[in-house]
């Protein structure tokens, strides 16, 4: 059955080719709130509902890693009231969701300079990471106070210190060495990157890791982004041919 642009059903998804790792730039909360005559935080609160729905949808179809860009290094420059509101919302949400994550066997991980977050956030994150650590169904990675350039810089510093202490040499630096020094070192690279809200940019997200990711831009604002929109992104991914620099002919099974 051919799907209309607004509908994408779970049955259409090829379960044997589900992306292992999906990363999402959740954008558009502020514009969504503004269009309804509310303050930006109203949009962030509604955005949490979408977060819940997409985590569920992703784990149901068999995604193994889901990375959500929740707060960037640059987002610290927003008005103090918005930053405070987002931090409050973060603690509240993580706390509320912990039993569900445990029940659904989803393990929480973070990437980013989380030491910069208020102590309350850090404590809650540590508690939930610990409580969910046995989760085998899916890994949920929250990018908090994260930016791709920040991560590359901290990785380079780590490697430089290892050279200084004699643990490694410049000749030993290769893709694997840099990979494992990154915050994302223990995860596979994203197969699919989604950005909502119609913006078509990366905004300092996983710069190193998205080298060969497929990118899906959705015009939908994050609080309006539903399960069907997520399925559409997966179907779009499944319609692509990933060539990794090779020719189309080389990608045929032989």
Active site (catalytic) residues: 27, 75
**Does the protein bind ligand IPE through residue 72 (CB under 6 A)?**
yes
Residue (8 or 221) nearer to ligand IPE, CB = 221
**Does the protein bind ligand IPE through residue 28 (CB under 6 A)?**
yes
Residue (43 or 112) nearer to Mg ion, CB = 43
Cβ neighbours around 8 below 10 Å, total:
21
Dihedral of CA 37/39/44/49: which sign? negative
Q: How far apart are CA 229 and CA 50, in angstroms?
A: 11
The binding track of 29-58 with respect to ligand IPE, each residue x by CB under 6 A or -, is xxx--------x------------------
**Does the protein bind ligand IPE through residue 94 (CB under 6 A)?**
no
In the list 21, 24, 27, 237, the residue contacting Mg ion (rule: CB under 5 A) is: 27
Strands (E) in 13-160, as ranges, are: 21-25, 65-72, 106-111, 138-146
β-sheet bridge partners, residue 107: 139
Give me the least distance between CB of 91 and ligand IPE, in Å please.
Answer: 15
- β-pairing, 106-111 vs 21-25, is unpaired
Helix (H, G, I), strand (E, B) or coil at 22: strand
Q: How far apart are CA 106 and CA 87, in angstroms?
A: 22
**Does the protein bind Mg ion through residue 69 (CB under 5 A)?**
no
**Does the protein bind ligand IPE through residue 191 (CB under 6 A)?**
no
Element of type H or E holding 233: helix 227-238
Q: Which does 26 bind (CB under 5 to 8 A by kind): ligand IPE, Mg ion, none?
A: ligand IPE
Residue (27 or 151) nearer to Mg ion, CB = 27
Residue (181 or 206) nearer to ligand IPE, CB = 206
Residue (27 or 97) nearer to Mg ion, CB = 27
Residue tagged 């992104």 (tokens): 233
Q: Burial, 82: exposed, middle or buried (Cβ in 10 Å; 0-12, 13-18, 19+)? A: middle
Chain contacts with Mg ion (rule: CB under 5 A):
27
Binding positions for ligand IPE, rule: CB under 6 A: 25-31, 40, 69-72, 75, 86, 197, 199, 201, 203
């Amino acid at each position: 059955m051919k799907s209309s642009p607004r509908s994408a059903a779970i049955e259409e998804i090829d379960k044997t080719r589900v992306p292992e790792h999906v990363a999402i730039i959740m954008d558009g909360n502020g514009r969504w709130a503004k269009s309804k005559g509310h303050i930006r935080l109203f949009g962030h609160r509604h955005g949490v509902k979408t977060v819940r729905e997409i985590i569920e949808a992703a784990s149901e179809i068999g995604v193994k890693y889901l990375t959500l860009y929740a707060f960037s290094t640059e987002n610290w420059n927003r008005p103090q009231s918005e930053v405070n509101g987002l931090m409050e919302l973060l603690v509240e949400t993580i706390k509320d969701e912990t039993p569900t994550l445990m029940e659904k066997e989803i393990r929480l991980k973070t990437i980013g300079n989380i030491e910069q977050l208020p102590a309350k956030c850090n404590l809650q994150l540590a508690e939930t990471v610990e409580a969910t650590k046995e989760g085998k169904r899916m890994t949920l990675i929250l990018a908090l106070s994260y930016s791709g350039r920040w991560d590359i810089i901290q990785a380079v510093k780590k490697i430089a210190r290892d050279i200084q202490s004699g643990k490694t040499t410049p000749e030993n630096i290769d893709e694997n060495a840099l990979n494992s020094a990154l915050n994302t070192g223990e995860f596979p690279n994203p197969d699919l990157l989604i950005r909502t809200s119609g913006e078509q940019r990366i905004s300092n997200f996983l710069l190193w890791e998205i080298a060969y990711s497929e990118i899906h831009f959705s015009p939908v604002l994050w609080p309006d982004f539903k399960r069907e929109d997520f399925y559409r992104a997966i179907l779009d991914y499944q319609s692509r041919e990933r060539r990794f620099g090779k020719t189309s002919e080389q990608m045929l099974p032989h």
